[in-house]
Amino acid sequence: MPAVPAAPDLSTQPRPVYVIGAGPGGLAVAAALRGRGIRAVVVEKSDSVGSSWRRHYDRLHLHTTRRLSALPGLAMPRRFGRWVARENVVRYLEKYAEFHELEIATGIEVTRIEPTTDSHPEGADGPDAPDTPGWTLHATGGRVMAARAVVVATGFNHTPFVPDWPGRDSFHGPLTHAAEYRNPAPYAGRDVLVVGVGNTGAEIAVDLAEGGAARVRLAVRTAPHILRRSTAGWPAQRTGILVRRLPVRLVDRLGAIIGKVSVPDLSAYGLPRPTTGLYSRVKQGAIPIQDVGLIDAVRTGRVEPVAAVASFDGAEVVLADGSRITPDAVIAATGYRRALEGLVGGLDVLDDRGRPRTHGAKTPPDAPGLYFTGFTNPISGNLRELALDAEKIAKGIARTIGA
C-alpha cells in the first residue's frame, strides 16, 4: 500500500478554496489542491462522502475498468475486480478521503454563490479573511463563507426528473423514479414498465427480469446505440478514449461498423438499430448503452421493448403508437437535472439547458475563479475525466493565486 502523503501546513490559509460536493469529482479536486499546498474545504449537504453512489441500485457496477477509474493519488484495490461494484466504489471514496486527509464539512448545503469584489463579508471565515477578490458562499444555518476560488462538483445526476405526462397523477399503481430503485425484490411476480432506455433503464429492466418480475416492458422513445462492455478482453472505454479527438463523422462510421459486427439486429424484437451516428448522439448528450444483459434479455423475450409513454389513463399507460398497457408499476429511468440555477443562476454561467458553459480548467470570463467539474458524460469514462479535470483545475487555481 502506498505511503500516506505528508500533510502540508495549511493553517496560514484562512480563506480556502471551497469545493461543493463530496462525490468523486469534488474529492479528486480537493486532493489535487492539497497536493499543491492549497487548502481546500469540501462542503457536502449529506452526512457522508459519495452520497449518490450510496443511493444507486444494488446491481450497479462501473462500466469502466478499475484501472481507468481511479482518482489522483490512490489506485483502486485489485480485489475489487475489473468492473467495480457500487458498494466498492463507496468504500474507495471513503478510503480516498481518509488517505488524502481531506477537510470535509458534511451536513451543510451551499445555496448561493456570489462574487466578492472588495472585502470579505461580515462573519466570513473570521476577522482575518483578506480583503482580496474572491467568492462568498451562503449556506444552510445562515453560514457565510469566503473563498479564494470555488469548484462546483454537485454532480451530473443531481435531481431526479420525471416528465409531466398527461394523466400521470391518475395512475393507479406506483410510479417511481429510478433513483428510488434498489433491487427487484419488491417487484417479484409483478408486471413492470421501465421508461427510458439509457444505461440505467436498460440495467434495471434486466435486473427485474432476472429477479422475478412476472413481465418487464421497456418503453423506448429513441432507439439506442448498444455496445459490448468488452470484446475479446478489450473494453469499450479504451475505444472511447482513442476516438475522442477524431472527427465526428469518422467515429460515426466506425461505430456503425463495430455495431453491426458485435451487436445482433434486434429490430424484430422492437429495438431497431438507430438511424443517427453513435458519436453524433454522444455530442448531443446521449451515451450508448453498455450491454450487461439487455441483448440476451430482449432476444429471449424477458424484456419487451414497447413504444414511448404518451400519457396515463387510470390503470392504463397510453403509448405513442396508440396501444394501451396495464402494468402494476412504472419505473421512470428518465434522467436527472443539474439543478444549478439556484446556486449560480444569477451569474450567467449556464446555457439554456442549465448546464455550465465551462468545465474543467476553464473558468467563465465574467466569473474568474469559479470552476465546474462532473457535468459532462464522456464516452471515455466519467471517473477518468474527473481525475484529469481535478489536476487541471488544481494547476489553474495554483497559477492564479500564486501557490
Chain segment 118-175, per-residue pLDDT in tens: 544 444 444 444 445 699 999 999 999 999 999 999 988 889 999 999 999 999 999 9
Output the CA–CA distances (angstroms, integers) from residue 66 to 63, 70, 74, 195, 228, in the order listed. Answer: 9, 7, 12, 30, 17
Per the DSSP assignment, residues forming a β-bridge with 144 are 138
Amino acid 125: pLDDT? 46
Amino acid 117: pLDDT? 67
Amino acid 126: pLDDT? 45
Amino acid 232: pLDDT? 85
187, 286: one domain: yes
Torsions phi, psi for 152 (to 5 deg) = -95, 120
- The residue that leads in pLDDT, 286 or 392, is 392
**pLDDT over 90 (residue 76):** yes
What is the CA 93 to chain-centroid distance, rounded?
15
What is the CA 358 to chain-centroid distance, rounded?
17
Distance CA 326, CA 172 (A): 10
**pLDDT over 90 (residue 244):** no
Distance CA 89, CA 70 (A): 10
Amino acid 118: pLDDT? 53
- The residue that leads in pLDDT, 383 or 402, is 383
235, 306: one domain: yes
Output the CA–CA distances (angstroms, integers) from residue 390 to 187, 363, 372, in the order listed. Answer: 40, 13, 10
Task: For residue 306, give the nearest of 230, 218, 195 by alpha carbon.
Answer: 218
Q: What is the pLDDT of residues 185-239, one digit of tens each?
A: 999 999 999 999 999 999 999 999 999 999 999 999 999 999 999 988 899 999 9
Per the DSSP assignment, residues forming a β-bridge with 271 are 266
283, 303: one domain: yes
Amino acid 349: pLDDT? 96
234, 298: one domain: yes
140, 164: one domain: no
Work out whether strand 289-291 and strand 149-152 pair parallel, antiparallel, or are unpaired.
unpaired
166, 282: one domain: yes
CA quadruple 126, 131, 133, 138: dihedral sign:
positive
Instruction: Give the position of cell 432476444.
Output: 299
Per the DSSP assignment, residues forming a β-bridge with 85 are 61
**pLDDT over 60 (residue 10):** no
Distance CA 205, CA 304 (A): 9
Output the CA–CA distances (angstroms, integers) from residue 382 to 20, 181, 345, 373, in the order listed. Answer: 18, 22, 25, 10
- 288, 307, 332 - which closes a domain: 332
- 302, 332, 362 - which closes a domain: 332
pLDDT over 70 percentage in the chain: 92
Single-letter residue type at 234: W
Residue 100 pLDDT class (50, 70, 90 cuts): very high
Total number of domains in the chain: 2
Amino acid 127: pLDDT? 42
Amino acid 402: pLDDT? 67
- Mean pLDDT, the chain, integer: 91
Q: What is the pLDDT of residues 30-62, one digit of tens each?
A: 999 999 999 999 999 999 999 999 999 999 999
CATH at residue 176: 3.50.50.60
Amino acid 276: pLDDT? 92
211, 345: one domain: no
Distance CA 66, CA 350 (A): 33
Single-letter residue type at 80: F
Amino acid 13: pLDDT? 55
143, 74: one domain: yes
In a domain, 394, yes or no: yes
**pLDDT over 90 (residue 8):** no
pTM above 0.85, yes or no: yes
Work out whether strand 159-160 and strand 336-337 pair parallel, antiparallel, or are unpaired.
antiparallel
Number of H helices, E strands in the chain: 10, 22
Query: Any idea what DSSP says for residue 21?
Result: -
Give the domain extent around 344.
17-157+338-401
**pLDDT over 60 (residue 372):** yes
The number of beta carbons lying within 10 Å of the beta carbon of residue 335 is: 19
Burial of residue 77 (number of CB atoms within 10 Å: 0-12, 13-18, 19+): middle
What is the CA 42 to chain-centroid distance, rounded?
18
The SS3 of residue 153 is coil
Q: What is the pLDDT of residues 122-137, one digit of tens each?
A: 444 444 444 456 999 9
Q: What is the pLDDT of residues 318-352, one digit of tens each?
A: 999 999 999 999 999 999 999 999 999 889 999 99
Amino acid 15: pLDDT? 86
Radius of gyration of the chain measured on its C-alpha atoms: 23
**8 Å CB contact between 30 and 102:** yes
Q: In what order do the strands lie in the sheet containing 110-116?
A: 110-116, 134-139, 143-147
Task: For residue 334, give the nearest of 179, 154, 134 by alpha carbon.
Answer: 179
Amino acid 403: pLDDT? 59
255, 351: one domain: no
In a domain, 7, yes or no: no
90, 207: one domain: no
Amino acid 285: pLDDT? 80
Cα-Cα-Cα-Cα torsion 358, 364, 365, 369, nearest 10 degrees, comes to: -140
Distance CA 18, CA 30 (A): 9
147, 164: one domain: no
